[in-house]
């Protein structure tokens, strides 16, 4: 039985899970869901009721970074796991303080009393450091860190793309743009119909 990957196309957590599955070449059954209309099978499978959620014969993998690592541990032809330990520090900073600032910038009405300009400044401080780190990639070659972080930089950039493009971050902007025009991005962003219980399986990649 193929592992089942519950996903939602626009969610950056689900995006990075699909990126790793695509890179690994490990076939899964993709079930595209809507977060406002979660199917019972998904709710029964996912302890957190969030995407991505990967159902394997060994159990459920319910965190996006763990889904990435699971896929790459099956097969890692691009060597994404062969990154310096510092890569996990970058991912932790992105998933923690940067994502918090991103959410408070993008969804400021959800956080009464929060100053979205200050939150944008906090996010920008992280991105400035990341810009200084990037050559073509965060390290010498593509790694887990790049593809764990890129979906969130994309999300932040499109809050106000003109503002983002005006920042003094040429390495970061080039890194994001290469991702956005890549075949890899096009493949993970293919539109699938909403999954229903009676649907035939959809294989990914």
Cβ–Cβ under 8 Å, residues 204 and 21: yes
- Output DSSP code: residue 195: P
Which pLDDT score is estimated for 1? 84
Coil, helix or strand at residue 27: coil
- Pair 198, 169 in one domain: no
Reported as a pLDDT band with limits 50, 70 and 90, residue 47 is: confident
Share of the chain above pLDDT 90, in %: 97
Which pLDDT score is estimated for 60? 96
Q: Where residue 149 sits, what CATH number does that domain have?
A: 1.20.1050.10
- Pair 194, 109 in one domain: no
Lowest mean pLDDT among 29-33, 163-167, 171-175, 196-200: 196-200
Residue 17 confidence (pLDDT) above 90: yes
Mean residue pLDDT of the chain comes to 97
- Pair 74, 138 in one domain: no
- Pair 151, 190 in one domain: no
Residue 55 confidence (pLDDT) above 90: yes
- Pair 54, 104 in one domain: no
- Separation in Å, CA 44 to CA 4, 39, 55, 77, 86: 13, 9, 11, 33, 36
Q: Where residue 38 sits, what CATH number does that domain have?
A: 3.40.30.10
Q: What are the tens digits of pLDDT across the range 158-190?
A: 999 999 999 999 999 999 999 999 999 999 999
- Pair 163, 191 in one domain: no
- Pair 103, 44 in one domain: no
Residue 63: which domain range? 4-78+186-204
* Mean pLDDT, range 62-87, rounded to an integer: 97
Residue with tokens 């991005």: 185
* Mean pLDDT, range 72-85, rounded to an integer: 98
Q: What are the tens digits of pLDDT across the range 101-154?
A: 999 999 999 999 999 999 999 999 999 999 999 999 999 999 999 999 999 999
- Output DSSP code: residue 37: B
* Mean pLDDT, range 75-90, rounded to an integer: 98
Q: Domain count for the chain, please give it.
A: 2
Cβ–Cβ under 8 Å, residues 21 and 5: yes
């Amino acid at each position: 039985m193929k592992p089942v990957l519950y996903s939602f196309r626009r969610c950056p957590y689900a995006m990075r899970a699909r990126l790793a599955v695509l890179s690994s070449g490990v076939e899964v059954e993709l079930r595209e869901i809507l977060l406002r209309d979660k199917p019972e099978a998904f709710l029964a499978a996912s302890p957190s009721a969030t995407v991505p959620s990967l159902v394997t014969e060994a159990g459920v993998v319910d965190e996006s970074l763990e889904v990435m690592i699971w896929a790459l541990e099956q097969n890692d032809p691009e060597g994404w796991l062969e990154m310096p330990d510092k890569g996990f520090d970058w991912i932790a900073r992105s998933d923690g303080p940067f994502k918090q600032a991103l959410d408070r910038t993008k969804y400021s009405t959800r956080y009464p009393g929060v100053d979205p300009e200050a939150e944008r400044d906090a996010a920008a401080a992280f991105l400035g450091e990341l810009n200084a780190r990037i050559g073509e990639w965060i390290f010498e070659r593509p790694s887990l860190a790049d593809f764990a972080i890129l979906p969130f930089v994309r999300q932040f950039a499109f809050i106000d793309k003109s503002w983002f493009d005006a920042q003094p971050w040429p390495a970061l902007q080039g890194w994001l743009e290469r991702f956005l025009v890549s075949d890899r991005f096009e493949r993970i962003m293919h539109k699938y119909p909403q999954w229903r219980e009676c649907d035939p399986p959809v294989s990914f990649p």
